[in-house]
Amino acid sequence: MIEPSEIEAMLRAAFPDGRFAVRDLTGTKDHFDAEIVAAEFASLSLLERHRLVYAALGDAMKQRIHALTLKTHTPEEARR
């Protein structure tokens, strides 16, 4: 189990200028939805973007997060 705020702290460490919205989908603190806007995603495929996010979450992704739905955009994509 993990708090959305902990997830956001890890994302902020990896994406210092990013914007995040993390939601607990089931109230059980292990199924989350995260929308991330970060310049680091520019020119990356969806797979590479998701890999970056999983790397930022490290072991929490393996042990404490059961499911994480991701929406990853660059600032330009988010403005469209």
Number of H helices, E strands in the chain: 3, 3
Rounded Cα gap, residues 62 and 18, in angstroms = 23
* Site for another protein, residues 28 to 47, rule: CB under 8 A: 46-47
Cα four-point dihedral sign 40, 43, 46, 51: negative
Task: Tell the smallest beta-carbon distance from residue 33 to another protein (Å).
Answer: 10
Q: Which of residues 46-75 bind another protein (CB under 8 A)?
A: 46-47, 50-51, 54, 61-62, 67-70
User: Which residues contact another protein (rule: CB under 8 A)?
Assistant: 46-47, 50-51, 54, 61-62, 67-70
